[in-house]
């Protein structure tokens, strides 16, 4: 899609409600959704096909392997929506907002590239707010109740379910800046 204004990558797209909604709303952006469970990804791909979307593609892959698919500096924005919270310190490295992942995102993001993060999980969100700066991302648009004054933005499948249950949705944006040299983020 050489005419694409922006390249955006969604990690763990699940059944793709957000993926197709975003692709539909922003036809000039190229959306690539990464999902490691093929059964979920197929549903997302069928949704895109049914809407005849031309600006969305899917990769059946692990978010840890982004560098195998994208060149350095190629990606403008990464979406991490309702990733698995992996409670307990033992599994922290599996969280998609762990510095190990954030440092990998740096390798494919363009200068000033962004990570847009949403979750229903309060503990994961509060923990993640400390991880972004460690990996050289400046935080903005931090909210602990995104839909407080009515629905905002395109919802994911999980988000719609939590919204209907009245669970507050947390959201923030991390913008890539220089990596702090003084500390080891891992
Ligand atoms: C809780 S679901 C959320 C799905 C969707 N983002 C939503 O909000 O409706 C998390 C999804 O991320 C996928 N996932 C988790 N870790 C992943 C990884 N390392 N690479 C790719 N996909 C991953 C899971 O297979 C699952 O479909």
Three-state DSSP state, 109: strand
Sequence-distant (6+) residues with CB within 8 A of 166 are none
Give distance in angstroms: CA of 184 to centre of ligand 1.
Answer: 27
Q: Are 15 and 47 in contact (CB under 8 A)?
A: yes
Question: By alpha-carbon position, which residue is closest to atom 11 of ligand 1?
Answer: 12
Angle between helices 157-165 and 17-25 (to 10 degrees): 110
* Residues with C-beta less than 6 Å from any ligand 1 atom: 11-14, 34-37, 40, 62-64, 81-84, 156-159
- Interatomic CA distance for residues 174 and 77, integer angstroms: 10
Query: Does 182 have pLDDT greater than 70?
Result: no
Report percent pLDDT > 90 for the chain.
Answer: 92
Q: Which residues are catalytic?
A: 84
Question: By alpha-carbon position, which residue is closest to atom 3 of ligand 1?
Answer: 82
Instruction: Give the confidence band of 19 by pLDDT, cuts at 50, 70, 90.
Output: very high
Question: By alpha-carbon position, which residue is closest to atom 17 of ligand 1?
Answer: 12
Three-state DSSP state, 51: coil
Q: Are 105 and 142 in contact (CB under 8 A)?
A: no
Report percent pLDDT > 70 for the chain.
Answer: 97
**pLDDT tens digits, residue range 110-141?**
999 999 999 999 999 999 999 999 999 999 99
What pLDDT does residue 183 have? 58
**pLDDT tens digits, residue range 159-179?**
999 999 999 999 999 999 998
Q: Which atom of ligand 1 is nearest to the CA of 40?
A: 27
The arithmetic mean of pLDDT across residues 90-116, rounded, is 97
Sequence-distant (6+) residues with CB within 8 A of 83 are 11, 12, 95, 96, 97, 119, 124
Query: Does 81 have pLDDT greater than 90?
Result: yes
* pTM (global) more than 0.95: yes
Query: Does 3 have pLDDT greater than 90?
Result: no
Q: Are 56 and 28 in contact (CB under 8 A)?
A: no
């Amino acid at each position: 899609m050489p005419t694409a204004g922006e390249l955006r990558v969604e990690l763990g797209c699940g059944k793709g409600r957000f993926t197709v909604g975003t692709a539909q709303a922003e036809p000039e952006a190229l959306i690539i959704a990464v999902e490691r469970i093929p059964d979920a990804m197929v549903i997302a791909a069928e949704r895109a096909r049914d809407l005849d979307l031309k600006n969305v593609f899917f990769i059946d892959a692990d978010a840890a392997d982004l560098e195998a698919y994208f060149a350095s500096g190629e990606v403008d924005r990464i979406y991490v929506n309702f990733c698995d919270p992996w409670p307990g310190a033992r599994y922290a490295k599996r969280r998609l907002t762990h510095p190990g992942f954030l440092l990998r995102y740096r390798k494919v993001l363009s200068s000033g590239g962004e990570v847009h993060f949403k979750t229903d999980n309060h503990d994961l969100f509060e923990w993640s707010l400390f991880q972004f700066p460690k990996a050289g991302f400046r935080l903005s648009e931090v909210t602990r109740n995104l839909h407080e004054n009515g629905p905002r933005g395109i919802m994911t499948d999980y988000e719609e379910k939590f919204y209907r249950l009245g669970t507050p949705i947390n959201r923030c944006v991390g913008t890539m800046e220089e990596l702090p040299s003084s500390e080891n983020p891992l």
